[in-house]
Structures are given as structure tokens and as C-alpha cells.
Structure 1
């Protein structure tokens, strides 16, 4: 059966993971920006549930070309996440010419030991994804999270099949971006090893004054995990494998 990873960012998401029991959790903060490193307390709380937690280690929003200080922070946060009980880390970085930042991955491997490493959607920013897969295999990365280079994974099923074929069991391919209970079976049919979904709902609130460019005054909201959608994704995957 295709594995199910749920992306969560708050205590509600942790509760949904406990109820639904996905194969693993990607834990992050600020998922609306693509995610950043979660707080230590959130990481520790999620790890205590017994659901394998893979902590996103991303020092800021934006692109994936990091300076030395940001790389140092990635390495330190990866070390700390493992100490807090994470089963693995989710990282990524690009060189100035848009290739895998192999030196960063090697440094993270040194501090996480045998724990799993997922290379995140920095992968989708690269022009030659097959060459990148070969590099990541050589670095001992466990899996790659990818939309196949599209805005939504469901729009790149041919590319996902091609990546699965190129990986040839050497590294796991996990489809993510816009994964829902309505399209997850079609994605599983590409042969990917796993799917990654936030299974989210939006909570609407009112802000009296603006809190910043991303949170203007007036009707606002935030996303959190939805148990019903998470269960529907899991059920669709089970049906696809039967």
C-alpha cells in the first residue's frame, strides 16, 4: 500500500495524526509558506505520540539558496530535532547554479546518523530532476518529496511515473502538492512510494487590525488538519491497493 504522510503544523494536527495514524507525519510551522522549522516544544509533543515524526528543517520562507549562517542553522536544528525524538528530518538546499547542495546534505547526514532524510520540494526547482535523484541516492537520502515539477502533483502524473522508473527502488518517491482524497488514488497509481497531504480545513477569524502583509485586518483565517479528510485519504489509498 502507498504510504500516507500527513503534513501538520499545530496541536490540532497532532491530535488528527493520533486519531488517524498515518504512516508518518511531516511537522512544520507556517505551512502556507511551504513550511519552516517547527518549535522544539511542538516537535517534542508530536514525537511523544508514537507516530513517526519527520521535522521540516527550513530556516526561512522563500528560496533554497542558503548562506553559511543559514546552513549552520539547518544543521543545528536537524541535530536538535533528532534529540527531541524525531524519526527523521526533511531538508533541502540548492547551490548557486541550481543543483543539489550536496555539502549541506552531507553535514545533516553527519548529525542525524541513521535517521531518515527526506529531500523536500527544493527538488522541484531543479531543471534536471533525474540527475538530482542520482546525486541524492549517492548521499544516502531516503526519499524525495516532489510534485513532478508542477504546481499540483496530479498535473504531473507522467513525470511522477518517470521519476519512479528512474529511482528504480534506490530512493523513495513521494508525491506532494494539492493531494486530496479525490485525487490520491490516481496519484498512487503512478507507482509512487508515498503521498504527502496536509488534509486541511480553514478556520475563519476576524482581525481588528493588520498583523502584517500576510494578515490584513478584516476576515482572516488559518489552515489546520481535518480529521475527516485525513481519514478519507487513508481510505482511498486502502481502496487503491485492494
Structure 2
């Protein structure tokens, strides 16, 4: 059975994801402009309060995933601790060495002091910058991670389909493979046939909202497009789940 995760940035998105029957949400901030950063602790607490399992992105800045600065790792450790204390069911994180391998020591420092047996851990799309993803999977399995989020190293999951299938085969149930990156409705069946454990997408739309002069930022904000999310859920779950009471028809 393929799980469904939406990347959301607010309470409204979490409630929409819950209504369409998603299994969990990845909570982040600045998704469209940065690819996602750690949300505020107030947002974490409010989204946890919606009742859907919340996995919080731990990423202190935009850009790459090589964290040579000890202060950056310390910030992410503090954010990880705060998110778990606020009720997060999981954390989404990643760190790479300068030669683009899994930075196991960096991950250890981000998770220092946390009881990771009580939460799920997802290694994010930093894995798509790693050339030897099979070796990376072995490292993450040894480190006790729950899953990886990946497009198979390609710009979109459709382009990375063969690599995703190869990762599923190599994982052999030891770690979950969650497909994410440029997924369209028409991609879902092929991804399920490839054997991925979960589907991840943002399904977002931009709501026009003029910030005005003086640093208001972009002229709008992003929200989950619940109609699109419902269409994804309906198609994904058609074969392997009973109807969800809150799910709307696409």
C-alpha cells in the first residue's frame, strides 16, 4: 500500500491534507522560494494540533547540504529538539560531505540528545546529489533512518523512474523509498508499479496577496491546492484503500 505525504506550510494545508486522506505532512516554510526551510515553532505546534502526523523539515538555510559550520549544525539540533518537543512525529533532514556522500557525523550532531526510536527520520532530496545512491542507502540503513525522499537523481520522478525502481530493489524493505519531485497525476501508476513506498508532493497553488512596499516579498503566498490534492489521493488510493470519509471527489 503506497503512502501519501504532502509538503505543507500552514494549518490550512495540514487540514486539507487530512481531509483528502493523506498519511502525514512534511511541514516547512519558504517552499517555493527556497525548496523548504524549518518552520517556526508556533507553526509546528499549531499544525501538530490538527491531528495529522507531522514531519518537520530541519534545514537552517537555502542552498546546498554541506554544513561545515558547527553553528549551523547546532541550530538544526536545537530546531530538531524543539520540533520533537512540540509533538512532531518525524523529522526530515540531510547532510552531505564536501565530496557529496552522506555525512553520518553531521546527521549524528543534528540528532544529538534525541530519542530517535520514538520518531521517524526521512533523509531529504540531498540524496539526489549523491552519485552512488546504493552506498548512501546502506549508510542510512546502518544509521537507522526510516526513509529517503528522492526523484532518483533526476529533475522529475518520471525521468528518474528506472533509478527509483533500482533503489527500491536495493533497499529490499530495509528502508522506505519515497518518490518526490515534479510528480503529475499521470505519473502515479508508474511509480506504484516501480514499488515505491510513498508519494510526496506539494500540490500547491499561489494565492494572490500584495505585500505592498517596504519588504512585503512576493505578491502572494502558497497554499495546498485541495482540489489537486484530492485528485492525487483518489487516484493513488483507488486500488488499495477504502474510501476516506473526508476525501472530496476531484
**RMSD of the alignment, in Å?**
1.7
Q: Deviation string for 1:22-58 (max 9, x for gaps)?
A: 1111000011111000110111111112211000000
**Mapped contact 1:185–1:240 kept (Cα < 8 A):** no
Structure 2 residue 113 is matched with structure 1 residue 113: no
Alignment correspondent of 2:150: 146
CA distance in 1, matches of 2:112, 2:162: 31
Partner of 1:137: 141
Structure 1 stretches of 4+ with a deviation exceeding 3 A read 205-212
Task: Map 1:58-73; keep pairs closer than 5 Å.
Answer: 58-66=59-67, 67-73=69-75
Aligned counterpart for 2:126 among listed residues 122, 127, 132 = 122
Show the counterpart of 2:45: 44
Q: Is the contact between residue 65 and residue 95 of structure 2 (CA under 8 Å) also seen in structure 1?
A: yes
Q: Which residue of 2 aligns with 1:82?
A: 84
CA distance in 1, matches of 2:189, 2:6: 16
Equivalenced residues, count: 237
- The residue aligned with 2:95 is 93
Q: Please state how far the C-alpha of 1:82 moved relative to its aligned partner.
A: 0.5
Matched residue, 1:231: 230
Q: Which runs of 5+ in 1 are unaligned?
A: none
Query: CA separation in 1, counterparts of 2:71 and 2:113?
Result: 18
2:246 maps to what in 1? none
Counterpart for residue 2 of structure 1: 2
Q: CA deviation at 1:221?
A: 3.0
Instruction: List alignment gaps of at least 5 residues for structure 2.
Output: 242-250
Q: CA deviation at 1:61?
A: 0.6
Length-normalised TM-score, structure 1: 0.92
TM-score, normalising length: structure 2: 0.89
- Is 1:180 matched with 2:187? no
Q: Identify which of 156, 160, 169 aligns with 2:160.
A: 156
Change in Cα spacing, 1:175 to 1:205, as seen in structure 2 (3 Å) is: same
Deviation string, structure 1 residues 176-215 (Cα, Å, up to 9, x no partner): 0112333222222210000101111221244544738x73
User: What are the superposed Cα offsets for residues 79-129 of structure 1, whole Å, 9 maximum, x if unpaired?
Assistant: 110000000100001112211110122231641421111000111011111
